[in-house]
Structure 1
């Protein structure tokens, strides 16, 4: 959205970016806002991701509510965590999981950058992708179930915070790497500006501080932030070495790694 354009209402440009994030990252039916341009246009990632932490928070809420309801109904930690992830996958259309599977197949099965990119475009899932998906789901379900056992309501808080932090951390490949393909999604959406990254980072930090006021342990908050960032940077470094750049799939894989790392960081901070 052009920030120089006359806003239709106070805070309009921020609201447009939040709506754009929700449309791009989920299947939620977000209606056009007053004065907004074409809601189906290719998003402009130079500014749009500044609201990504808040969008991630919204995307994590359905799963958190499902987990809270299942836990309250006495279904136990494993079923509650599994139902929570099911809700999250339905909200996002498995967007990030699809990216993780493609990256695992491409990086694991290709011997050259060109071959890896070719495999990543194949809609079929291979052994590497299947194993990566299984491990991602198992680690997140296990982490959430453990948090329900150890911290109760902290698991709900952790789910929404991890959703926000992981999507923010997953901007690392877009910010640090050139597009691996000129015709891919990574090239079409553009690269976040420094101002956009600063705003997104400040919001992510603010949400973590809010989590501390709601009972998140200090060490847990620090570990969630640091480990999410390190995981995304690790995927970024792997993509640089494997394909010389980033794609939408790489961003999805970075989100998955960051979410797993954030949840495990909080588990490590809570006494058994």
Structure 2
């Protein structure tokens, strides 16, 4: 169990927890149930950093938002932003499912990638700054957790369509029951923090999924690692904005 959590932590973040572990395909599905707990780790770190910068150093919300976002990207190693870039190019330039998938595999960045990255980061920075200006730094635990709950559900429910991608072995080795329990436990934890915010964040996550489904999953009839990354970043952005509007 602990090894599965550490593998998930090492895969989804650049945090130096323990020695590097191997990620054998036969065990890769075990880590999916730990994606939401990893999101909680990220959220707690972001909350602590925001509290120190806001309450202790008394920095302006915009500066705190900028620093938190930079550290957030650093902690995840821009893993999910890579998916945003690839999907941005694919959505803009792919007029057929085959072409979309081809563009996602291309390492070059086009206009779609640049625009998608800029918009996502702009939305997250603006929402972070507004949320911190309201003094709601504790709500920073919501976006990374809700996004990874959504990711876990999509991995469980959506076919992975690449035969050579990093997620090809996930569906056959993961446990839907474990994913459900993990999502439920983390949802209860967020509900304790703020039931209203949890409901708002749940709606926002659902809207983010619908957008990704309509623009990416439905056209290619499945998911890829890039689509997973785009879902995480989109859900985080939607949740951040919804928390600003709803609180």
TM-score normalized with structure 2 length: 0.90
* Distance in 1 (alpha carbons) for counterparts of 2:244 and 2:63: 18
The correspondence for 1:200, drawn from 182, 194, 211, is: 182
Question: Matched residues in 1 for 2:210 and 2:187: separation?
Answer: 17
Choose which of 17, 22, 30 in structure 2 pairs with 1:47. 30
> Offset of 1:64 from its aligned partner?
2.7
| 2:12 aligns with one of 19, 25, 34 | 25
Shift of 1:45: 4.5
Shift of 1:29: 2.0
Matched, 1:188 2:169: yes
1:48 shift after superposition = 1.9
Instruction: Identify the residue that residue 82 of structure 1 maps to in structure 2.
Output: 66
Which of the residues 135, 157, 161 maps onto 2:142?
161
Does 1:209 pair with 2:186?
no
Segments of structure 2 that go 5 or more residues without pairing to the other structure are: none
Structure 2: how far apart are the matches of 1:45 and 1:165?
21
String of CA shifts for 1:184-232, please: whole Å, max 9, x gaps: 12213335432023112212312212312xxxxx332211122113312
Larger deviation: 172-181 or 103-112? 172-181
Contact kept in structure 2, 1:100 and 1:132, CA below 8 Å: yes
Answering whether residue 115 of structure 2 is matched by residue 131 of structure 1, we say yes
Alignment size in residue pairs: 244
Considering fraction of residues, name the structure with more helix: 2
DSSP-derived class of the 1:246 partner: coil
Q: Does 1:117 align with 2:122?
A: no
- Displacement, 1:98? 0.8
Q: Which residue of 2 aligns with 1:224?
A: 201
Q: Is the 8 A contact 2:28 2:169 kept in 1?
A: no
Corresponding residue number in structure 2 for 1:148 = 132
User: How has the CA–CA distance of structure 1 residues 51 and 25 changed in structure 2, closer, same or farther, with 3 Å as cutoff?
Assistant: same
Moved beyond 6 Å, runs of 4+: none
TM-score by length of 1: 0.82
> C-alpha displacement at 1:233, in angstroms?
4.1
1 CA distance for matches of 2:24 and 2:149? Answer: 20
Q: Which residue of 1 aligns with 2:225?
A: 248
Distance 2:210 2:21 in 1: 31
Quote the Cα distance in structure 1 between the aligned partners of 2:37 and 2:156: 19
SS at match of 1:181: coil
Cα contact 1:63–1:83 (8 A) shared by 2: no
SS of the equivalent of 1:30 reads coil
**Greater Rg by CA:** 1
CA distance 1:261–1:94, shift in 2 (3 Å): same
Aligned position for 1:10? none
2:167–2:224 contact (8 Å) kept in structure 1: yes
Q: Is the 8 A contact 2:81 2:233 kept in 1?
A: yes
